[in-house]
Amino acid sequence: MKVDANLPFGLAGVAEAARQLEASGYSGVWTAETSHDPFLPLVLAAEHTEHVDIGTSIAVAFARNPMLLANIGWDLQAYSGGRFVLGLGSQIKPHITKRFSMEWSHPAPRMREMILAVRAIWDTWLTGAPLQFRGEFYRHTLMTPFFTPATTDLAEFGPPKVFLAGVGTLMTEVAGEVCDGFICHAFTTERYLREVTLPALERGRARSGRTMDGFEIVGPSFVVTGATADAQASAASATRQQIAFYGSTPAYRGVLDLHGWDGLHDELNALSKQGKWQEMGDLIDDDILNTFAVVAPPEGVAPELGRRYGDVVTRMSFYAPVDRDVERWAPVMSALKAI
């Protein structure tokens, strides 16, 4: 199993963090689009590392258009020497329309078309074929030599891999059909992964005439651990808050419903509208916490992750600050990589 880590937000400290994470044996380093741009830090990560994968987990697809994604994906793939993974996610409607002031409609078909458009643009740049992409949501029919990057940029390793994050079955099927990998949302349980996510990915792969061979799955990453009991308790409290936040989102209620927690979403959603964030976390009892998260001292993390996901996922990603107790965490990572 590949073991990845998340880079710090923003630009400060990214270069040193990437260097240390590569030296510590991580397989990849990822950024997320939250309070900072997700692509700029990867330039620094590419410059200051040699072999780790670099990628976005995730960049908000619908805040951009296919041409912008094609350009930045091409440049990061070339600059990193073929190590870039374009990880995309849809976000939810209020953020797309109210935060990014962009259009929202039919998210799964739109995402499918967006990724196909990006691939069509890359194909035009690589082969010289005319750009003739005409879809329901995106049209790209103009490309001149002045706006075409050099084919030699990617001659050695080809275009980037494209991963897609999702929870619902329609978006997950899109990932299986048109992507190279799937990023499990943190709000994914083992049961949901096995009973809902995997069948949806397989349906998508079958639709494109392919099997799951070579398809990568980045596993859920809720881990509650700590070097001391107090540290683990603090991590548990923060994770309860995060689970509660995700559980209040209508798009994710299906995960709760699968486990029989039908009314929990409504309670969390009502509290979120009142700004009662602490009360939301209080609703996440030990049973819910342990279902979503691996709760264990560091030495117990790898065995439990292996038990839950070892036969399903190909890589795991952690929030792993470089000032973590490296000596205690290193054997955990080694054990995971051996799965």
**CATH, residue 306:** 3.20.20.30
Q: Could you give the CA distance from residue 268 to residue 280 in angstroms, rounded to a whole number?
A: 6
Angle at CA 162, nearest 5°, toward 21 and 316? 40
Phi-psi region of 27 (alpha: psi -120 to 50; beta: other; left: phi over 0): alpha
| Count of domains for the chain | 2
Q: How far is CA 197 from CA 59, 77, 190, in A?
A: 21, 29, 10
Q: Could you give the CA distance from residue 274 to residue 264 in angstroms, rounded to a whole number?
A: 16
Angle between helices 66-80 and 107-127 (to 10 degrees): 50
Q: Model-level pTM? A: 0.94
Shared domain for 256 and 328, answered yes or no, is no
Shared domain for 143 and 10, answered yes or no, is yes
pLDDT value of residue 176: 98
DSSP three-state, residue 84: strand
Identify the domain boundary among 295, 310, 325. Answer: 295
User: Residue 298 — pLDDT band, cuts 50, 70, 90?
Assistant: confident
Q: Could you give the CA distance from residue 246 to residue 292 in angstroms, rounded to a whole number?
A: 11
| pLDDT tens digits, one per residue of 3-31 | 999 998 889 999 999 999 999 899 999 99
User: Residue 319 — pLDDT band, cuts 50, 70, 90?
Assistant: low
Q: What is the mean pLDDT of residues 270-289?
A: 95
Range of the domain at 285: 226-295
Shared domain for 152 and 237, answered yes or no, is no
By the 8 A CB rule, do 235 and 281 touch?
no
Helices H / strands E in the chain, number of each: 15, 13
Query: What percentage of the chain exceeds 70 in pLDDT?
Result: 98
Shared domain for 276 and 302, answered yes or no, is no
Q: Could you give the CA distance from residue 4 to residue 25 in angstroms, rounded to a whole number?
A: 9
Shared domain for 81 and 212, answered yes or no, is yes
Nearest alpha carbon to residue 258 among 183, 196, 313: 196
Shared domain for 188 and 62, answered yes or no, is yes
Shared domain for 27 and 65, answered yes or no, is yes
Shared domain for 285 and 148, answered yes or no, is no
Phi-psi region of 81 (alpha: psi -120 to 50; beta: other; left: phi over 0): left
| pLDDT tens digits, one per residue of 62-114 | 999 999 999 999 999 999 999 999 999 999 899 999 999 999 999 999 999 99
Shared domain for 189 and 56, answered yes or no, is yes
Shared domain for 207 and 58, answered yes or no, is yes
Rg (CA), the chain: 20
DSSP three-state, residue 30: strand
Shared domain for 191 and 244, answered yes or no, is no
Shared domain for 108 and 235, answered yes or no, is no
Nearest alpha carbon to residue 72 among 121, 6, 140: 121
pLDDT value of residue 71: 98
Token pair for 337: 């990589």
Q: Half-sphere exposure of 88 toward its Cβ, with a 13 Å CA cutoff? A: 32
Q: How far is CA 244 from CA 127, 222, 252, 289, in A?
A: 48, 13, 11, 10
pLDDT(324) > 80: no
